[in-house]
Chain A
Amino acid sequence: MKCDHYREQLLADPHHRSARLRQHLKQCAECRQYSLQVEAFERELHHTVHLPVKECPLPALPENTARPRRWAALAAATVTVALVIALTLQPNVEQHEALAITSDILHHMADEPQAFAGTEEINPNKLLAVMGAKLKVKEGWYATYADPCKIRGIHGLHIVYRKGEEIATVILLPGELPVDKSHVAARYSHGMTVVVIPSSPTRPDQLLAGLDPMLYPL
């Protein structure tokens, strides 16, 4: 029974042997012999499956309409670079913290380009409820993306709102966190921070006023 168990392990993943399996192989001559069979089989198998491949070119690729808007990603990247530079030059501790948080928010956005891909309206209320909040925005704006996120170890919520050609990213984080107001806008309400980030050459404070996110506790 014990040998069967170890042989099963060998067969399931011959290249990853646990310490117990190695110990058993030292003690059991029959299983050691069996492991040699498996090794010999693995060698043949390797040569068998790595058969010569017919060279084939990449198929013709259609225009990928689902890709996120490049300018949105470019904006996030440009601002991130600017913030990193500012961060290294900034001696003030509070400002330093604000720049670091803002930089992390923008990094997160750059890592989630698919957030800009959707155009269909979605309902972020369930995710907001998990955070114990309800968020209302001005009429005309609708959410097209919502997903939990983690910024500097803090669990928050990443939402993208659209209105015509305008796109606003909202990052909702618990606690009152400082942000760099030259790149993003923030509103503090009910012990939470609502960060609004433009994805086009819009001023953050104008976008905040336009979107007017109002947070309510549940």
Chain B
Amino acid sequence: MLPLFRSQVHFEKLFYRHRDDLWRFAYFLGSSRYEAEEVLQQTWLRAWEKFHTLKKTHKARAWLFTILHREFLRLRRYSPSGEPLDAIGELPDHKSENPGLRIDLERAIRELPEKFRTPFLMQVLGGLSINEIAEVLEIPRGTVLSRIARARKRLIAAHPQATWRVYSNEQKIS
């Protein structure tokens, strides 16, 4: 339950708790870093404006993801992004054992059709349940399940490396 008096201090707590995943959601939804930052800016302003309508703390994450998605659609409506994916600018530094695969995967996520990408990211980054996603996107639960499944299927199919690692592990086990 949120405190009765919702001051800027409470809002700041919410901001620092969720800003990273919201940033990532905006980053993967948009076609450029500039667009992501613009969406985020609008999201936080809108969230502040509507802060009094947030009733339960445990719903804050879904609430913020909903606002961000709406702001994204709103900005797209006013200025449809024609920027190609190559205009993203410098990609984040993947400090991993397989940076090539991750950059490819990141690109593949961005290239998913928006109707698959949005519910998929809401689940993966937002941790939203299927029911919550259905509610936010105002589509039936079955459609959410099917869209997320298709998103994953496309990404797995586009990355045989991941499959290879499984078979390799299996062989080691046997």
Which residues of A are at the interface with B, using a C-beta cutoff of 8 A? 8-9, 11-14, 33, 36-41, 44-54, 56, 58-59, 61-62, 64, 66-68, 70, 73-74, 76-77, 110-114, 117
Among residues of A, the one whose C-beta sits closest to the C-beta of B20 is A53
Assess the B24–A36 pair: CB atoms within 8 A. no
Which residues of B are at the interface with A, using a C-beta cutoff of 8 A? 1, 4-6, 8, 11-12, 15, 19-20, 23-24, 27-28, 37, 40-41, 44-45, 48-53, 55, 92-96, 98, 101-102, 105-106, 109, 121, 123-125, 130, 144-146, 148-150, 152-153, 155-156, 159, 162-163, 165-166, 169-170
CB distance from A83 to the nearest CB of B (A): 15
Give the complex CA separation of A41 and B151 in angstroms. 12
A-side contacts of B95, CB under 8 Å: 52
In the complex, number of A-B residue pairs with CB atoms less than 8 Å apart: 130
**B51 touches which of A9, A11, A64 (Cβ 8 Å):** A64
CB distance from A164 to the nearest CB of B (A): 22
Give the complex CA separation of A129 and B162 in angstroms. 60
Give the complex CA separation of A64 and B40 in angstroms. 18
Q: Could you tell me the dominant secondary structure of chain B's interface residues?
A: helix
Q: Could you tell me the dominant secondary structure of chain A's interface residues?
A: helix
Assess the B123–A68 pair: CB atoms within 8 A. no
Give the complex CA separation of A58 and B13 in angstroms. 10
Give the complex CA separation of A76 and B5 in angstroms. 12
Give the complex CA separation of A56 and B16 in angstroms. 10
**A110 touches which of B4, B94, B106, B169 (Cβ 8 Å):** B4
Assess the A44–B162 pair: CB atoms within 8 A. yes
Task: Provide 15 A-B residue pairs closer than 8 Å at the C-beta atoms, listed in order of the A residue.
Answer: A11-B148, A11-B150, A11-B152, A13-B145, A14-B152, A36-B169, A41-B155, A41-B156, A44-B102, A49-B125, A53-B20, A58-B44, A59-B44, A73-B4, A113-B6
Among residues of A, the one whose C-beta sits closest to the C-beta of B91 is A51
With A40-B166, A58-B44, A59-B45 given, can you name 8 additional A-B contacts, CB distance below 8 Å? Answer: A56-B37, A58-B12, A58-B15, A66-B49, A70-B5, A73-B4, A74-B5, A77-B4
Give the complex CA separation of A73 and B102 in angstroms. 50
CB distance from B116 to the nearest CB of A (A): 11
Give the complex CA separation of A104 and B24 in angstroms. 41
Assess the B52–A66 pair: CB atoms within 8 A. yes
In the A-B complex, the 3 residue pairs with the smallest Cβ-Cβ separation, listed nearest first, are A11-B149, A12-B149, A12-B145
Assess the B166–A37 pair: CB atoms within 8 A. yes
Among residues of A, the one whose C-beta sits closest to the C-beta of B144 is A12
**B163 touches which of A40, A54, A61 (Cβ 8 Å):** A40
CB distance from B98 to the nearest CB of A (A): 8
Give the complex CA separation of A41 and B109 in angstroms. 13
Assess the A38–B156 pair: CB atoms within 8 A. yes
Give the complex CA separation of A205 and B37 in angstroms. 54
Given A11-B149, A48-B105, also A114-B155 (CB < 8 A)? no
Assess the B146–A48 pair: CB atoms within 8 A. no
B-side contacts of A73, CB under 8 Å: 4-5
Give the complex CA separation of A33 and B125 in angstroms. 26
A-side contacts of B98, CB under 8 Å: 44
Assess the B40–A56 pair: CB atoms within 8 A. yes
Give the complex CA separation of A41 and B130 in angstroms. 20
Assess the A111–B55 pair: CB atoms within 8 A. yes
Assess the A61–B8 pair: CB atoms within 8 A. yes
CB distance from B27 to the nearest CB of A (A): 8
